[in-house]
Amino acid sequence: MPKEFNVGDVVELKKTHPCGSKEWEVIRVGADIKIKCMICGRLIMLPRNKFEKDVKKIVTAAEKTSE
């Protein structure tokens, strides 16, 4: 069952980024997931299946807006 991620979520990945951060903000959700490093601001895109394997936990969930 696929996990649900929303734009604005802050997630912790299993591996540490070279700058020393493990926390990333979700920028774009789709077939690929675009994330931004919380320390250095580096942007990367990962296929959804690789991203779901690499995520350890959701640190901060984005607030849902009701329309």
Could you read off the pLDDT tens digit of each residue along the chain, which spans 67 residues?
Answer: 457 899 999 999 999 999 999 999 999 999 999 999 999 999 999 999 999 999 999 898 877 655 5
Q: CA-to-CA distance for 3 and 52, rounded, in angstroms?
A: 7
pLDDT of residue 41: 94
Number of helices (H), then strands (E), belonging to the chain: the values are 1, 5
Whether residue 7 contacts residue 49, with contact meaning beta carbons closer than 8 Å, is answered with no
